[in-house]
Amino acid sequence: MIKSPVFLIALMIVMLGSTCTSENKNSQTKETNNEEGKTTQNDDPAKLSSTEQIKKHGKHYLSTIIQNLPSKHISSRTIEVLFPADTSGSERFPVLYMFDGQNLWHSFEGWGGEPNKGWRVDKVLDSLYEAGTVSGLIVVGIHNSENRTSDYMPEKPRELVKQRIETTTNEWYQEFKTNPPKSDLQLKFLVDEVKPYIDARFPTKKDRANTFISGSSMGGLLSAYAICEHPEVFGGAACFSTHWPPLDGVFLEYLKSNLPDPSTHKIYFDYGTETLDAEYEPYQKIADIAMLARGYEKNKNWMTLKFEGAKHYEDDWYARFHIPIQFLLKKN
């Protein structure tokens, strides 16, 4: 049950997400003169289409936005790409695909009208480059839609999901009765359309060992589902503040018997102890038992971290983003 106004606000954010439609679209396309927002027209048509623009982020990264990428599976979706500035040589880079892509390196207005700085993925990666820890990573952010809850809710275990939708009395999940989960289509879009598009235009390492998936909250849940459904594509997943509770944690029943091979995959989980994250520990412990039963080893191919005092918020994910990045990219 929802026990406080803080919990209520946090759960609203999880269910609906921060779409940042008009403000972010304006900020993403507006030309500025400061160093980290400088916009230039793309001059490399072999890699990017002529309609795209490139922005500078710090010293070592650039970004571009692809508006309304068409799909056979879902409605057209905007994607953004952050990539190393020096791609003139023969070097290729691992790729991290992330959900809620509109919040990764843009600030936006929060639910209460307060400014939210977002994940600041660009700043973290620039710092890791400066420190010599991560020499280069391509990040692909996939914008969410107004149907985020349905889009991100795992469809399996299919029959049990259907049963719990029919019987749920939780007001937050009533919408599944008229708008059932469609996450399989989201993953088809990602695997069949977005990844080939990115591989054809950027200097990527295309293999599983260098392809990763990540998200927070329900995006974390979908990331766990993605690596289980497509273990041939994703070699690692980073699941921040995974929102396990929907339909009484039904996804955990699927996770128990569908985790990918620990000899070829890495998985990272984390959670805080404040706001909505305070509800996650009992569910995470079930997931951890499943990881052990599948043969995963802590700090080798699996991490679950608890952050005391951390909230369900972009500032907190920003503060620890470097941890799974270094973990996933480290070669055992």
253-304 pLDDT, tens per residue? 999 999 999 999 999 999 999 999 999 999 999 999 999 999 999 999 999 9
Summarize the confidence of residues 202-226 as an average pLDDT. 98
Binned at pLDDT 50, 70 and 90, residue 110 comes out as low
Domain containing residue 104: CATH number: 3.40.50.1820
pLDDT in tens, 167-182: 999 998 999 999 999 9
H helices of 68-157, in order, are 121-130, 148-152
How many CB atoms are located within 10 Å of the residue 243 CB? 29
Q: Residue 304 has what pLDDT?
A: 98
Mean pLDDT, residues 122-150 taken together: 95
Q: Look at the chain and report how many structural domains it folds into.
A: 1
Question: C-alpha 157: how far from its chain's center?
Answer: 22
Confidence class for position 111, pLDDT limits 50, 70, 90: low
Strands annotated E in 35-181: 39-41, 53-57, 61-69, 77-84, 95-99, 108-109, 115-116, 138-142
Q: What would the mean pLDDT of 25-47 be, rounded to a whole number?
A: 37
Cα of 7 vs its chain's centroid, Å: 22
- What is the Cα–Cα distance from 8 to 27, expressed in whole angstroms? 29
Average pLDDT score over the chain: 87
**Structural domain containing residue 291:** 5-329
Instruction: Determine the Cα–Cα distance for residues 23 and 113; give it in Å rounded to an integer.
Output: 12
Tell me the residue ranges of DSSP E strands in 13-73: 39-41, 53-57, 61-69
The first and second tokens of residue 239, run together, are 């699941």
CA separation for the pair 271, 277 (Å, rounded): 6
CB distance 79 to 142 below 8 Å: yes
Residue 50 pLDDT exceeds 80: no
DSSP state of 44: -
What's the count of helices (H) and strands (E) in the chain, helices before strands? 13, 12
> For the whole model, what pTM was predicted?
0.85
